[in-house]
Amino acid sequence: MTYDLKITGGTIVDGTGRPGFAGDLGIENGKVVALGRAEGAAARTIDATDRVVSPGFVDVHTHYDAQILWDRMLTISPWHGVTTTVIGNCGFGVAPTRAAHRKLILQTLEKVEGMSLDALHAGLGEEWPFETFPQYLDTLEKNGAAINVAALFGHTPLRLYVMGEESTERAATPDEIATMKKLVREAMEAGAIGFGTSVSVSHNGYAGKPVPSRQATVDEMDAMVSVLGDLKRGLMQITIGRDFSTRHMAEVSRKYGVPVTWTALLSHLYGPGGHRKQLDLAAEQRKSGALVIPQVSCRPLNFEFTFAEPFIFDVMKFMNELAAADAKDPGTRRRAYADPAWREKLRSEVTPLFQRWWERVVIAWAPSARELEEMPLAVAAAKLGKDPVDLALDLALANDLQARFRMAVMNFDEKEVAELITDPNTIIALSDAGAHASQLCDACYSTHLLGHWVRERKTFSIEEAVHNLTQRPAEMFGITDRGVLAAGRPADVVVFDPKTVGPGPLKRVYDLPAGADRLISEASGIDAVIVNGELIRHEGKDMVATNDRLPGRLLRHGRAA
Ligand SMILES: [Zn+2]
């Protein structure tokens, strides 16, 4: 037999951005050994007529740090063609963690990443087989996973480990910074691909306290990045906030020769049109010798809300007045929601960002009308012959104000998003896979990019989109042996149908540990997913069982050993 696996008759789009070409692909011993012509017999052949054959997708912004300990399949990323993920983003993670801090770190993940605490406890158990970061990597390697994993070292567990609970309250002393530097070096030497952190004001952990990384001074950040500079390896990933600006990022990037990628540059983050200034800034920084790369998203940023606490409408005065009135006289809120005159306010007296807000809302959870769940509000309203705002408030009232809605609050202006995702100085990422599990699901960003932005909107050619899902993020993150189809490279391959590829509608399932729920999306048009030469998904089904030896590799230093 010449090949273990052969893919015939497809269009090969190799990840570099160059034009696709008709050809076959042959795989042996986990590697691509033939590209273009692959004559000779194979143990298994996949017919890729009318299909695209591309490198497996590289998702550089995930939060599988905990999930990987109970779900070695890393669902749902491989369903959407992802064969390599980066964990440890935003500085979150589970190592290093002392036994005494396990509960605190899980409570922090619960808050910042919207994971159910019950699921985390049940999934990780009482006894963790690791304390330090190197031990955590050893655990991942020993367990194995369906797809490849590279890890950033997280600032939040690091600070908690070194400073204890004071890490949420104060700056670090010079001694503590020295200890942290040592541990960053240890993590990098064990195979971390960089350092993740967050100064986002929205990142609060256990007991509502700021996550430890938010208490880091500019000097502490500088010290952590200096280790990467000394080692001449690794990148910094940061979720932005007030305290460590893009100017600081450019400074450390230049000073230490370290790339910095920040999350996330979204349309409307700085008001309509405000993204332009950030793109210009990124271009300028690039010219000045700093490598500061905003991460952008090809999907709208959604938030879930209820009409019991409709926090997303808080910017509107009449909403705040209602909350205040209801606090004094409980029941005011419900009466307003039932009042046609008040309903009219919610239709017409909204700020510019909320114009026609109901067109961006999905009904997420409504026990009184299960058949409407996951349906766009406007579609459901049209079906019932109702006004959408009336329907939303009727559902709220019928479900004791607990009905949940999901609304795109940013990154929904497609003209602006197109500018962001095609800009030469950004990378498309931000799937947040594994996080916000019950609230949103952007782990399907790859099939969304191919279905929506390539097929429907023609913003990218297939070659450009595949390049943005493969070689480009891999290079940015120092993942050196993934992202391109070439002879001699590991065989991470996706076979997809460009006419049908896309994410399915979001579905709520209850498959997390302790029966916790999450949203998932099944892909269409993903025919085959191959990791290190092994077929792990075929025609929408798993080809490996969770108890099998799995083909994914831990990419220490950004590559398989
Ligand atoms: Zn994140």
CA of 429 to the centre of ligand 1 (A): 10
pLDDT recorded at residue 316: 83
Span 475-492, average pLDDT: 97
CA of 158 to the centre of ligand 1 (A): 17
Average pLDDT along the chain: 95
Contact 209, 165 (CB under 8 A): no
Task: Compute the distance between CA of residue 268 and CA of residue 343 in angstroms, rounded to an integer.
Answer: 26
Higher pLDDT, 237 or 409: 237
pLDDT recorded at residue 542: 96
CA of 264 to the centre of ligand 1 (A): 9
CA of 62 to the centre of ligand 1 (A): 6
pLDDT digit string (tens) for 431-464?
999 988 888 899 999 999 999 999 999 999 999 9
Q: Give the CA diameter of the chain.
A: 80
Span 350-358, average pLDDT: 87
pLDDT digit string (tens) for 274-304?
899 999 999 999 999 999 999 999 999 888 8
pLDDT recorded at residue 262: 97
CA of 203 to the centre of ligand 1 (A): 10
Q: How far is CA 217 from CA 115, 200, 241, in A?
A: 28, 13, 13
pLDDT recorded at residue 508: 86
CA of 239 to the centre of ligand 1 (A): 7
pLDDT recorded at residue 406: 93
CA of 430 to the centre of ligand 1 (A): 7
pLDDT recorded at residue 540: 95
Q: Is the pLDDT of residue 155 over 90?
A: yes
Q: Which residues pair with 151 in a beta bridge?
A: 87
Which of 87, 90, 117, 88 has its CA nearest to residue 102?
117
CA of 219 to the centre of ligand 1 (A): 23
pLDDT digit string (tens) for 79-94?
999 999 999 999 999 9
CA of 427 to the centre of ligand 1 (A): 14
pLDDT recorded at residue 49: 98
Q: How far is CA 470 from CA 120, 306, 466, in A?
A: 31, 38, 6
CA of 96 to the centre of ligand 1 (A): 19
CA of 438 to the centre of ligand 1 (A): 15
pLDDT recorded at residue 264: 92
Query: Residues 411, 413, 418, CA angle at the centre, nearest 5°?
Result: 85
pLDDT recorded at residue 25: 98
CA of 445 to the centre of ligand 1 (A): 14
What band does 426 get if pLDDT is binned at 50, 70 and 90? very high
Task: Compute the distance between CA of residue 21 and CA of residue 458 in angstroms, rounded to an integer.
Answer: 20
Task: Compute the distance between CA of residue 320 and CA of residue 314 in angstroms, rounded to an integer.
Answer: 6
What band does 134 get if pLDDT is binned at 50, 70 and 90? very high
pLDDT digit string (tens) for 22-39?
999 999 999 999 999 999
CA of 229 to the centre of ligand 1 (A): 24
CA of 341 to the centre of ligand 1 (A): 41
Taking phi first (over 0 means left), then psi (-120 to 50 degrees means alpha), and beta for anything else, what does residue 515 get? left
Task: Compute the distance between CA of residue 467 and CA of residue 17 in angstroms, rounded to an integer.
Answer: 5
CA of 487 to the centre of ligand 1 (A): 34
- For 203, residues 6+ apart whose C-beta sits below 8 A from its C-beta are 90, 112, 210, 211, 213, 214, 239, 241
Task: Compute the distance between CA of residue 134 and CA of residue 138 in angstroms, rounded to an integer.
Answer: 6
pLDDT recorded at residue 350: 87
Span 332-338, average pLDDT: 96
CA of 192 to the centre of ligand 1 (A): 17
pLDDT digit string (tens) for 179-222?
999 999 999 999 999 999 999 888 888 888 899 999 999 999 99
pLDDT recorded at residue 437: 86
Q: Is the pLDDT of residue 556 over 90?
A: yes
